[in-house]
Amino acid sequence: MQLSERDGLELWRRAVTASVRSDAPDLTARQQAILMTIALTPGPHTVRGLAEQLNIAKPAVTRALDALERLDFIKRVRDEADLRNIFLERRPPGMTYLRQFAGLVLAAASGKDQEAAVSPKTRKASAA
């Protein structure tokens, strides 16, 4: 499927709008990028590695990880071989969030999000 820039942005807008309307946590773009990187790329993951991979400062990564850890989306685990190292691992709630967000993207791509956006009240009002 070939998308224009506008089509790509519209798809992203619809998925993000559906996410905002849901009861899912409202993650920043940085938090989403970090969560997706931990979940979808081979580890082990560290603050330093994420900072380099995403080209952002280590303190910014740490702040985002603090928020993700509060949501139980990731977990910090001390390296048994070198106690100075801390690895970052995905957690089931974070994977559930990503699966749900992926569903929103797929719904937007198929147009099903627009069908779902028409509530019963809207249908009744437009039928009258």
Q: What does the domain layout of the chain look like in residue ranges?
A: 5-127
Residues 6+ apart with CB under 8 A from 99: none
Instruction: Give me the helix-helix angle, 47-54 and 58-70, nearest 10°.
Output: 120
Residue of 113, 120, 121, 128 whose CA lies nearest to 21: 113
Q: Is the pLDDT of residue 41 over 50?
A: yes
Q: Please tell me the predicted confidence (pLDDT) of residue 122.
A: 45
Fold of 5-127: Arc Repressor Mutant, subunit A (1.10.10)
* pTM: predicted TM-score of the whole model, two decimal places: 0.82
Both tokens of 54, joined, read 């995403």
Q: Please tell me the predicted confidence (pLDDT) of residue 2.
A: 86
Residue of 32, 99, 111, 39 whose CA lies nearest to 68: 32
